[in-house]
């Protein structure tokens, strides 16, 4: 799907940049996030941004090369991802909650992003609105993401909350054998060993583990990378190492830990460090494309993520929200008993839906 390639490049570059930034805070922590989800919700903010605020968001999301068509491309991507009939479950949902007494300009969210604007009473019933929003998120993620908005995060000063929720459940094209799962040691680092982790055995390619659906060209892939490549990953290298035309199919034994990761991020600090400063500054933020004036600004960007990898496949759910106020392919054996990076990509659009780093069993 060549028409989406500029957005694919932007999302992949943003993904790798964000991974590096999250790693800087703690280089031994487990990480899991959806670059697509964060990009989608921030692109909705960018639609109403003007001046330096819009420029900084675009630079952070790496969308400068497709700025003139970024909203059209995101709309097309959401439509493709929500197509029925895939061999895996994938659902993308966007929702905008606006203060019912506030006057918002009409943005093309509904048509482009399949995003419904729902009026709520933040001013007088903020807690009721918070519970309602959390309920919608829980429903969209099939119960995996609860309480995306913790108590006290919504107040009578809240004017708008933008949300993107994505749910994915894929079954391995070649499942691991349950009877072949066994306890093994996991090397956290050179001096620390965590024991009794369930390791799954299979035979497949080192860098990719396909989900069902490859015969319909709508599948996603799980890519595994050695943690040693974390600082070397660029868009060009990632595409070179994972592009179907560049890969040779080789069968090797794979040992992969069975794991769950649940992460909750306040993305405000991270996005500011990546150059998105004005959007969070009450004195500089320009979201006049949303309201006709400059009184709105971003107060929070929430991101909550869950992933489970087991013998059958992968289940993942992500919610992003804004509140406005390589291993060598010659090796015949891949044993992931040490920290590794992983990516889930939607191959028809070359879009990275999820990315993470597994460093330590919980």
Q: Where are the domains of the chain?
A: 2-170+260-324, 173-258+328-356
Which residues partner with 170 through β-bridges? 314
Identify which of 196-200, 238-242, 285-289 has the greatest average pLDDT.
Answer: 285-289
Beta strand ranges found along 8-159 (DSSP E): 31-33, 89-99, 115-120
Nearest C-alpha neighbor of 341 from the set 18, 41, 2, 105: 18
Superfamily of structural domain 173-258+328-356: Alpha-1-antitrypsin, domain 1 (2.30.39.10)
The CATH code of the domain at 2-170+260-324 is 3.30.497.10
Half-sphere exposure of 334 (CA within 13 A, CB side): 26
pLDDT digits (tens, 9 = 90+) for 33-75: 889 888 888 888 898 899 999 999 999 999 988 878 888 888 8
Residue 146 and residue 139 in contact, taking contact as beta carbons nearer than 8 Å: no
Residue 239 and residue 12 in contact, taking contact as beta carbons nearer than 8 Å: yes
Share of the chain above pLDDT 70, in %: 62
Predicted pLDDT at 200: 40
Whether the full predicted model's pTM is greater than 0.85, yes or no, is no
pLDDT digits (tens, 9 = 90+) for 268-320: 899 999 999 999 998 899 988 888 888 888 888 888 877 766 555 555 565 66
| Cα–Cα distance measured from residue 96 to residue 109, given in angstroms and rounded to the nearest whole number | 9
Burial 129-162 (b: 16+ CB within 10 A, else e): bbeebbebbbebbeebbeebbeeebbeeebbbbb
User: Which of 104-113, 226-235, 274-283, 289-298 has the weakest average pLDDT?
Assistant: 104-113
Place of tokens 């794979």: 254
User: Which of 46-60, 61-75, 112-126, 180-194 has the weakest average pLDDT?
Assistant: 180-194
Predicted pLDDT at 270: 92
Predicted pLDDT at 59: 96
DSSP 214-266: GGGT--EEEEEEEGGGTTT--HHHHHHHH-GGG-----EEEEEE-EEEEEEEE
| Cα–Cα distance measured from residue 133 to residue 163, given in angstroms and rounded to the nearest whole number | 9
Nearest C-alpha neighbor of 209 from the set 166, 168, 249: 249
Q: Where is pLDDT greater, at 7 or 3?
A: 7
| Cα–Cα distance measured from residue 321 to residue 182, given in angstroms and rounded to the nearest whole number | 39
């Amino acid at each position: 799907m060549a028409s989406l390639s500029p957005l694919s490049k932007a999302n992949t570059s943003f993904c790798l940049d964000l991974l590096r930034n999250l790693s800087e805070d703690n280089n031994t922590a487990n990480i899991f996030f959806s670059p697509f989800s964060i990009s989608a919700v921030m692109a909705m903010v960018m639609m109403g941004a003007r001046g330096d605020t819009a420029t900084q968001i675009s630079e952070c999301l790496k969308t400068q090369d497709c700025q003139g068509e970024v909203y059209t491309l995101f709309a097309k991507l959401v439509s493709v991802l929500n197509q029925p009939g895939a061999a895996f479950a994938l659902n993308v949902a966007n929702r905008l909650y606006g203060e019912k007494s506030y006057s918002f300009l009409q943005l093309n969210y509904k048509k482009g992003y399949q995003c419904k604007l729902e009026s709520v009473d933040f001013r007088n019933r903020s807690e009721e609105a918070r519970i309602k929003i959390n309920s919608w998120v829980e429903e969209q993620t099939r119960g995996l993401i609860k309480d995306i908005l913790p108590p006290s995060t919504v107040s009578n000063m809240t004017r708008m909350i933008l949300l993107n929720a994505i749910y994915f459940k894929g079954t391995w094209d070649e499942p691991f054998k349950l009877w072949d799962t066994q306890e093994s040691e996991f090397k956290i680092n050179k001096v620390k060993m965590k024991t009794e982790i369930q390791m799954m055995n299979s035979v497949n390619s080192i860098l990719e583990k396909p989900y069902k659906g490859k015969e319909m060209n709508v599948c996603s892939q799980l890519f595994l990378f050695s943690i040693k490549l974390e600082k070397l990953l660029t868009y060009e290298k990632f595409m070179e190492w994972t592009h179907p035309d560049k890969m040779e199919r080789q069968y090797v034994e794979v040992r992969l830990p069975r794991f769950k990761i649940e992460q909750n991020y306040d993305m405000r600090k991270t996005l500011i460090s990546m150059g998105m400063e004005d959007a969070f500054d009450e004195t500089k933020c320009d979201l006049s494309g949303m309201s006709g004036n400059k009184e709105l600004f971003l107060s929070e960007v929430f991101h909550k993520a869950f992933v489970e990898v087991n013998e059958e496949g992968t289940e993942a759910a992500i919610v992003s929200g804004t509140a406005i106020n390589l291993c060598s392919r010659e090796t015949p054996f891949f044993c992931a008993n040490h920290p590794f990076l992983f990516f889930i990509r939607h191959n028809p659009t070359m879009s990275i839906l999820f990315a993470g780093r597994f460093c330590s069993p919980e």
